[in-house]
Structure 1
Amino acid sequence: MLLRYKKSKKFHQKGDCKMIAHRGLSGIKRENTVAAFDLAGEHSYFGIETDVHVTSDNKYVIIHDSLTSRVSATSYLVEKTPLDTLRKVKLYAKSKEGGEKETRIPTLEEYVLSLKEHGKVGVLEMKNHFEEQEVWDMCAEIEKLGYMDHIIFISFYLENLVALRKKYPLQPAQYLTLHYNKNVLKTLIEHKLDIDVNFRALRPKSVREMHENGIKVNCWTVDWRPVARWLVKMGVDYITTNILE
């Protein structure tokens, strides 16, 4: 559950660690909306994370869950619903001044345009399983917007990242995982992937081991300064957060 705040929480001890706004500045604005992306863009975050789904008519929309029910009064299954229907869904707003930017499901294009406007790196999670062509079509859309060089792709589905690697072998990509072990390390090395891991799975030894293999370490989701300080001391490269800045 995402907490509600009135302003970001300053974290001044991040050193070289880069902060990633989780689903935009979701501690203040409705997650995964243009309002949340724009607000994060106005702050010092290095990057803005979000989630992308494919609609029934092969369009790309920004929403976390497969169903719209948690964030609206509707209950559409995103993958079985056309874009026009999803665009009519009114999301629950977190703030009174958000307007349409906080109550409408964004398209992939709107997310990328917000990144471009604010000069931020995108951290784009491919939700669920994508077909290879869906991965490539999504990348082509980002390329048309001239922003592929500023996107890090992430996914819990290894096959999504393998599909990405076939056409974009040098594209920054992070394997999302709850755990870290030798098998995960082997997978990262084999597919030339970085990691985005639940912060609770990390220890100084594991961070050191990944760095020795040229792997960058992102971790999620950290909203507490003492935990962030502990992770920075370990040497993580990125911290994904709802509210720390």
Structure 2
Amino acid sequence: MAGLASTTERFTCFLKISLWLLLPALVGVVVSCTSSDPNAKVSLMQKNGRKISVIAHRGASYLAPENTLAAVKKALETSADFIEIDVHLSKDGQVVVIHDATVDRTTNGTGQVAQLTLEELKELDAGSKTDTAFAGERIPTLAQVLKTVKGKKKLLIELKKGEQDYYEGLEQKTLDVLKAHNATDWCVLQSFYDPILERIWQMDFMIPTHKLMMGKIPFLPIFFDHEFKFGSLDRYHEAAAINIHRHFASKSFITSLHNQGFKTFVWTEDDPKNIQQLFQNGADGVITNRPELIEKP
């Protein structure tokens, strides 16, 4: 397995192994992938009195370009409890909101975020590639998003890794921005990468953290985040939640996470009926690109 060429190939291998081991339990457990009307709104009820959360993935990213202020504003109009965004660090040390380590996919520019200054990033159009109606949308800073949200909803902030290496100081700079905007009580930090989480924990801040991963191979002490790992999930005891991919969100695995003291936000599901099923399986939250389709009491 060490010879596999990329994270994608490693995850494909992991998924095949996991599905083979899960096959006897898949019937009636795995969420359906079809819906009679994918645009139909579905009303979610609180499950057995427990708190459930809907998380707008990269803002309301079906209605506006992902991780832009437009998408954040659209998400504020929905019933979502959280807005999820991603952060990187610019060349001049500014915390900016974008998913990829490069600007190529979502803007009219090219290059690594880490090699561009904030001024250079602000020159790029982050809207036109999705919809010409959003031409002129820019890559926002974390500070701009915080000023837009103002605690009206919670923020789930994913700290990313650069194209080549970890960003020096991303964790501290993110925390500094949150403190400067009095936002630590309505923000949660998450990451796939253990060194990022460990640095946050070492800074002794009370802000909640979530561990991101794909999932775990059933019956074996093997799980996958951005690479294969061996051992128990106890190493993440400082995290409030372990957030898993929807393909691994069986009722039994969610129950196991709960029994270990973790909550779980499942990512990423857009079909409202499938979202209902994930909550029935015990998910504490579901991350979706379509929060506008979910009605909550």
Structure 2-normalised TM-score? 0.74
Match of 1:4 in 2: none
Measured in 2, the distance between the counterparts of 1:130 and 1:121 equals 26
Describe the SS at the equivalent of 1:180.
strand
Task: Give 1:210's match in structure 2, choosing from 257, 265, 279.
Answer: 257
Match of 2:145 in 1: 111
Q: Residues 42-69 of structure 1, C-alpha deviation per residue, up to 9 Å, x if partnerless?
A: 1111010010000111111111111111
Describe the SS at the equivalent of 1:45.
coil
- CA distance change for structure 1 residues 132 and 87 in 2, over 3 Å: closer, same or farther? closer
Match of 2:29 in 1: none
Measured in 1, the distance between the counterparts of 2:177 and 2:166 equals 15
Name the % identity.
25
Q: Which region of structure 1 is more displaced relative to structure 2, 206-215 or 144-153?
A: 206-215
Q: Residues 71-102 of structure 1, C-alpha deviation per residue, up to 9 Å, x if partnerless?
A: 122112101111100000012334555464xx
TM-superposed deviation, 1:185? 2.2
TM-superposed deviation, 1:176? 0.8
Q: Which region of structure 1 is more displaced relative to structure 2, 169-178 or 138-147?
A: 169-178
How many residues are matched? 235
Describe the SS at the equivalent of 1:124.
strand
TM-superposed deviation, 1:226? 2.8
Measured in 1, the distance between the counterparts of 2:204 and 2:167 equals 15
Measured in 1, the distance between the counterparts of 2:207 and 2:126 equals 33
Please say if 1:160 is aligned against 2:160: no
Match of 2:107 in 1: 72
Structure label with greater radius of gyration: 2
Q: Is the 8 A contact 1:61 1:106 kept in 2?
A: yes
Measured in 2, the distance between the counterparts of 1:119 and 1:185 equals 33
Measured in 1, the distance between the counterparts of 2:170 and 2:275 equals 35
Measured in 2, the distance between the counterparts of 1:173 and 1:10 equals 31
Match of 1:5 in 2: none
Query: Alignment RMSD, CA only?
Result: 2.1
Match of 1:141 in 2: 177
Q: Is the 8 A contact 1:132 1:160 kept in 2?
A: no
Q: Is the 8 A contact 2:64 2:70 kept in 1?
A: yes
- CA distance change for structure 1 residues 137 and 205 in 2, over 3 Å: closer, same or farther? same
Code of the aligned partner of 2:64: K
- CA distance change for structure 1 residues 138 and 243 in 2, over 3 Å: closer, same or farther? same
Code of the aligned partner of 2:174: M
Task: Give 2:187's match in structure 1, choosing from 131, 134, 151.
Answer: 151
Match of 1:12 in 2: 43
Measured in 2, the distance between the counterparts of 1:192 and 1:92 equals 34
Measured in 2, the distance between the counterparts of 1:57 and 1:160 equals 20
Match of 1:197 in 2: 244
Runs (4 or more) in structure 1 with deviation over 3 Å come to 92-100, 129-133, 181-184
Q: Is the 8 A contact 1:32 1:50 kept in 2?
A: yes
Aligned pairs for 1:30-41 (under 5 A) are: 30-41=65-76
Measured in 2, the distance between the counterparts of 1:238 and 1:58 equals 32
Code of the aligned partner of 1:175: K
Q: Residues 135-194 of structure 1, C-alpha deviation per residue, up to 9 Å, x if partnerless?
A: 1122011101010111111111111111111123532111111112543523323x3441
Please say if 1:127 is aligned against 2:175: no
Measured in 2, the distance between the counterparts of 1:9 and 1:165 equals 41
Q: Residues 113-134 of structure 1, C-alpha deviation per residue, up to 9 Å, x if partnerless?
A: 1221x61100000011645633
Code of the aligned partner of 1:126: L
- CA distance change for structure 1 residues 70 and 42 in 2, over 3 Å: closer, same or farther? same
- CA distance change for structure 1 residues 42 and 184 in 2, over 3 Å: closer, same or farther? farther
Match of 2:290 in 1: 243
Q: Is the 8 A contact 2:158 2:189 kept in 1?
A: yes
Q: Is the 8 A contact 1:47 1:120 kept in 2?
A: yes
- CA distance change for structure 1 residues 75 and 122 in 2, over 3 Å: closer, same or farther? same
Measured in 2, the distance between the counterparts of 1:146 and 1:235 equals 32
